[in-house]
Homo-oligomer: A and B are copies of this chain.
């Protein structure tokens, strides 16, 4: 029987679950290092609290919306509410060699980190209460459906043939475009674009976060093979290659403009990790190097553009995740090859331009959907409870005004 549990595959998915879980605190520090001292706890918490909030949401109903039996390709049905029916036997639809619950747990960690990613858009001024409500709604109305479309059996984008190995669209494009939408809905930080200085208060924290993210991403992309097999290895190598190339190129870009920035190198690495995410299981290591190398300038100039426009999308979630994820999804349509993964498809370079079109279409659908729903949510919340703290509270800092705490004594 093919549906027996394979211990090696299970071990790898358990570990990958731990690795992806760890990415949320890693992200907390990656972001936290870039804010001012008075907002560090607030920023750390915007990520950390997702581990609590979305984990509960996922067990109660999120997983069922995302991976329950499809209702018209749009939503999962209620079969798995409360992890009911999510047992230790495999669910062959998704992963035939590991317990169903391992698949559900692994996917949970993706659901947790995605709203945390968005938080970079509005740090240093968001009202915590509004954020809690927003992220709960967002997970339910944006993340879970999109996960269903792309990965759910019967999901509309999956049926269309869109490739997304580990969440280029599901995680990064949704997060990026939602960040953009939210940033347009919330007011700027005091003094932004107007003499205010927003100096990162602890870049070592950002480096620490980046280091942990890099390692965690091996679980994010490698684990998406859902087994300890050749595909997992390919994904891991591609992940590492893209991160490396992107880090190097960002270093050179900042060097040309100025000096080789450390913040730039680690940012570049993260952008490379983002860009390879949809492609990791479909391309060769050399293609991964190219994808990483090209992702850096794309995000680099996207940040410059964003700054020029004067939008306070504070930690550049759109430029890093939205643009990076979009670039990666399109690159998948170019560099994918069945030589690497028979279950995948050939891309433009391998004689199949149609795949590129499919990728483009899926990107547009996910981006527009995420943007629109998020913008509506943010505006609605702003009308009702307000999404930004008062200017006075912002001055004092969110650690004290929102949490009554001081990070450092």
Chain A residues within 8 Å of B, Cβ to Cβ: 5-12, 14-15, 17-19, 21-22, 24-26, 28-29, 32, 36-37, 40-42, 44-45, 48-49, 51-53, 55-56, 59-60, 82-83, 87-89, 98-99, 101-102, 104-105, 108, 128, 199-205, 207-208, 210-212, 214-215, 218-219, 222, 227-234, 236-237, 240-241, 243-245, 247-248, 251, 258-263, 265-266, 268-269, 284-286, 289, 399, 402-409
Contact = CB atoms under 8 A, between A and B. Distances in A.
Given A44-B207, A233-B99, A241-B59, A228 B7 contact: yes
A45 to B, nearest CB: 5
Contacts of A200: 409
Given A18-B19, A211-B22, A41 B262 contact: yes
Contacts of A36: 409
A240 B55 contact: yes
A204 B262 contact: no
B241 A56 contact: yes
Contacts of A18: 19, 215, 218-219, 236
B228 A105 contact: no
Number of copies: 3
Contact of A25 (B56, B82, B202, B212): B212
Best-buried of A26, A99, A207, A241 by chain B (most CB within 10 Å): A207
A5 B405 contact: no
A-B complex: 5 closest residue pairs judged by Cβ atoms: A7-B8, A88-B230, A25-B211, A55-B244, A52-B247
Nearest to A32: B204
Contact of A7 (B7, B243, B268, B269): B7
A40 B234 CA distance: 35
Given A10-B228, A211-B22, A17 B218 contact: yes
Contact of A44 (B49, B88, B204): B204
Contacts of A29: 204, 208
Contacts of A6: 7-8
A22 B212 contact: yes
Contacts of A237: 59, 83, 101, 104-105
A129 to B, nearest CB: 8
B51 A407 contact: no
A11 B15 contact: yes
A207 B28 contact: yes
A123 to B, nearest CB: 14
Given A55-B243, A88-B229, A260-B402, 11 more contacts: A9-B11, A10-B12, A12-B14, A45-B265, A48-B211, A48-B262, A55-B241, A82-B286, A104-B237, A105-B240, A199-B409
